[in-house]
Structure 1
Amino acid sequence: MDDSPSDIVYGQRGALPVPRNVVPGDLSTEPESGEQYMLRVRMEAASIPNVVVANNRRQLLLTSNPEKLPLVGTSPASHCLPLNSVAQPSAKWLSDFERYFAQQRRHFRAALAATNIAANPDVPGISQAKEWRTYCYNISDGNCQMLATLAHIDQPMTMRLLKWMTTWLSKDQLRRVEAIWLWYLLLSLDSLLDHEDTHALRELCRALLRIRSIVATSFCQERGEEIASLNILVAAVTRGYRQRDLE
């Protein structure tokens, strides 16, 4: 994915690249393909507030006496390191994002329905966690292959991937490929979730919150994009799936 071509909308390589020959089409209609959907997402993303780490606020990212973080799934989000205000989304951003996420879920599910699915897609079996990890982290065709994969699998497998992805996350960073997969998985979920599914989403959110608390204390200013990704994914759970008590 790092070798993806320049993004025609932003003039630089994006996390979710779109081929140059794709056009947005009539914005009042459903997207005709996954690529057209992603182009519309990239265009619309420019109109909503960004949550980044300001370049001149390095000292605000430092905290004293860091506490030892608990293992994933064993403690509530309140055990995270204190989050500096520079990395905290505003109330307005969260409110705007809630509406944005609901809209994107509708469009994304329509894009999945319009995605061509191979008769025999080359994906691992439903219980092959190790093979799925290799597949997800070494995917070569970018968002097109991800869309085809998600169009092929059902809701239980989508939730299983979310659970596995939670265990695959490291304690102190969110990789780009992880952020993209998690964003797609959260968009593709059905709105009707049972208790077990909701619990899995909350565990994912807690893991992301713990990573964010560590990233926010980093000296590296270049991690602002990572914090923005974490904020988006956390909000997708807390606002998109109504788990606001985790904020």
Structure 2
Amino acid sequence: MSGNLLDVDTAVAQLVAPPPGVAWPYGVPPEPARRPFRVDPLPQFIRASDLAALSRTETAALSRARAQGSVLLGVGGDEHEPAWITLPRPGILLALGTPGSGKSSLLTALAMLNPGHHWWAPPEGTDPDACWAAFHRDARRRLVGAEVIPLVDDVDRLSSETAVLLAELPGMGFSVVATAGSPALMQRTPLASLAGNHGTGLLLGNAPPAAADFFGVRIAAEQAPPPGRAVLIENGRTRSLQIAAPG
């Protein structure tokens, strides 16, 4: 017999005759000794509820390790494994992204995916500057414990006075998760140096080169990424993931 499957031009082979009266296939193929390597594209969308169910398939030991300081974000990797990030303790995790990239949804999904953590954000419809001033005052009086994780949306749109108060929270032992849309504006706030020094962050959507420069990395921009597409930066290394959407 000959063909492209062989390393040589021609070879002698003995073909096996099928059993009489048996329909194709003639037998069940054995399970492979090793799972084949796959590279699947990231999904365009994943719900937080679906991701929470997927993450529960991990071993109990891994779940306990994650609970000690990591939070679930979305899916990443070649086979859509649950993607986790370790929060700076204390410190600031900053997510930079353009409008519509999923910054606000990220903060909502974090609380949904990680109910074991204590999250706090200004109630909807309230003045965020006034709320953060009150939070800082309660934190200074130790009426709020450092186990609470503040969620700060659009920090670059807050007043300069609020930015100073938020920058003091890590010094009180808090881990802060913040989003911003403008790296240029972020450079003018005390939060900027704190967020950049930790070497951990998120770039959401088709972030401009200045956003990657903020974290000292280079990334290949994805054309027309879906909302929630992100690049996770940890210790100078990057990986792409899809942030879970609330729901």
- TM (norm. structure 2) is 0.30
Larger radius of gyration: 2
Task: Give 1 or 2: higher helix fraction.
Answer: 1
Task: Give 1 or 2: higher strand fraction.
Answer: 2
- TM (norm. structure 1) is 0.30
